[in-house]
Chain A
Amino acid sequence: MTSQRCKGARDLLPEDTERFRHVEDTFRSSCLSWGYQEVRTPTLEYLHLFTAAGTLTPNMLSKVYSFLDWDGWSGERVVLRPDGTIPVARLYIENLTQQEIAKLFYVNNVFAFEETGKENRERWQCGVELLGSANPTSDVEIILLAAEILHSLGISNIKIQLSHAGMLKALLKELKLNPDEEASLLTQVLDGNWQVLAGIESANSDANRLLSLLLDLRGKSSGFLENLKALPQISLDLKSELDNFAEVTSLLDALDCNYQIDVTSTRGFEYYTGLCFQFSVKENKIGSGGRYNDLIPLIGGKNTPACGLALYINPLMNLVQPKAGQKTEQRILIRGETTMLDIIKSCFQLAQSLREAGYVAELDFNSRQLNWRWLVTVQEEPSPFIVIDQTRNQKGHAASVGEVINIIGGSA
Chain B
Amino acid sequence: MLTRHQIDYVKLALPKGRLLPATAYLLTEVSLGFENYAQETRTYRLQSTRLPYLSAKMFQEKDIPIQVAIGNYDLGICSLDWVEELLAKYPASALVKAADLGYDKGNLYLAASQHGDISSLQELPPRQDSWRIVTEYPNLAEASALNLRLRKFKTFPVWGAAEVYPPENADLVVLWARDESELRAQNLASLKTLFSTSAFLIANRESWQTKNVSQIIAYLSHGLEMGAKPWSQSKQTLAGSSNGSHPGFSEEKVWLALPDGHQQTPTSEFLHKAGLQLQGYSGDTLNRRPTFNLDWVDAKVIRPQDMPLQIANGNFDLAITGKDWLLDHLYRFPSSPATELVDLGFGEVKVVAVVSQDMPVADIDDLKQLIQASRLSPLRVASEYINIADKYLRDNHVGQCKLIPTWGASEAFLPEDADLLIENTQTGKTLAKHNLKIMDTLFQSTACLIGNKDSLKSSAKREKIASLVEIFRQTVESS
Contacts and interface: CB of A to CB of B under 8 A. Distances in A.
Interface of A: 48, 51-53, 58, 61-62, 68, 70-76, 115
A73 B151 contact: no
A52 B337 CA distance: 29
A62 B151 contact: no
Given A51-B146, A73-B336, A75-B132, 19 more contacts: A48-B130, A48-B151, A48-B152, A51-B150, A52-B149, A53-B151, A58-B146, A61-B146, A70-B332, A70-B334, A70-B335, A71-B334, A72-B333, A73-B309, A73-B313, A73-B335, A73-B337, A74-B154, A75-B155
Interface string B296-324: 00000000000001001100000000000
A52 B153 CA distance: 11
B313 A75 contact: yes
5 contacts: A52-B151, A58-B149, A70-B332, A73-B309, A76-B130
A58 B144 CA distance: 10
A71 B335 CA distance: 6
A167 B333 CA distance: 48
A74 B312 contact: yes
A51 B333 CA distance: 24
Contacts of A76: 130, 154
Nearest to B314: A74
A51 to B, nearest CB: 6
Contacts, number: 53
A115 B92 contact: yes
Interface in B125-148: 130, 132, 143, 146-147
B146 A62 contact: yes
A58 B338 contact: no
Contacts of A71: 333-336
Interface string B89-116: 0011000000000000000000000000
B143 A51 contact: no
Given A70-B333, A73-B336, A53 B149 contact: yes
A38 to B, nearest CB: 30
A73 B312 contact: yes
B37 interface: no
Interface residues of B, number: 26
Contacts of A68: 332-333
A76 B155 CA distance: 8
B156 interface: yes
Contacts of B149: 51-53, 58
B368 interface: no
A249 B157 CA distance: 52
Contacts of B130: 48, 75-76
Contacts of B334: 70-71
Contacts of B333: 68, 70-73
Nearest to A187: B147
A48 B145 CA distance: 11
Nearest to B92: A115
Nearest first, the 10 A-B pairs at minimum CB distance are: A75-B154, A73-B333, A73-B312, A53-B149, A73-B336, A71-B335, A48-B152, A61-B146, A52-B151, A58-B147
B329 interface: yes
Contacts of A73: 309, 312-313, 329, 332-333, 335-338
Contacts of B329: 73
A284 to B, nearest CB: 27
A68 B335 CA distance: 13
Interface in B149-203: 149-156
B313 A62 contact: no
Interface string B335-379: 111100000000000000000000000000000000000000000
B329 to A, nearest CB: 7
A292 B338 CA distance: 43
Contacts of A70: 332-335
Given A62-B143, A115-B92, A74 B150 contact: no
A326 B312 CA distance: 61
Nearest to A117: B92
Contacts of B154: 74-76
Contacts of B143: 62
A1 to B, nearest CB: 14
A62 B91 CA distance: 10
A299 B312 CA distance: 28
Nearest to B334: A70
Contacts of A53: 149, 151
A75 B146 CA distance: 15
Contacts of B309: 73
A297 to B, nearest CB: 13
B340 to A, nearest CB: 16
B395 to A, nearest CB: 17
A74 B147 CA distance: 21
A48 B312 CA distance: 20
A76 B132 CA distance: 11
A71 B454 CA distance: 14
Nearest to A64: B146
Contacts of A115: 91-92
A246 to B, nearest CB: 33
Nearest to A75: B154
Nearest to B337: A73
Contacts of B146: 51, 58, 61-62
Contacts of A62: 143, 146
A70 B335 CA distance: 7
A53 B150 CA distance: 8
Nearest to B155: A75
A200 B373 CA distance: 63
A51 B313 contact: no
A52 B130 CA distance: 13
A70 B337 CA distance: 13
Contacts of A72: 333
Contacts of A48: 130, 151-153
A187 B33 CA distance: 48
A62 B142 CA distance: 10
Contacts of A58: 146-147, 149
B313 A74 contact: yes
B328 to A, nearest CB: 12
Interface centre among B130, B146, B151, B309 (most CB of A within 10 A): B146
Nearest to A71: B335
Contact of A51 (B151, B155, B336): B151
A74 B312 CA distance: 7
A115 B153 CA distance: 26
A70 B330 CA distance: 10
B157 to A, nearest CB: 9
Interface string B75-97: 00000000000000001100000
A166 B151 CA distance: 23
A377 to B, nearest CB: 47
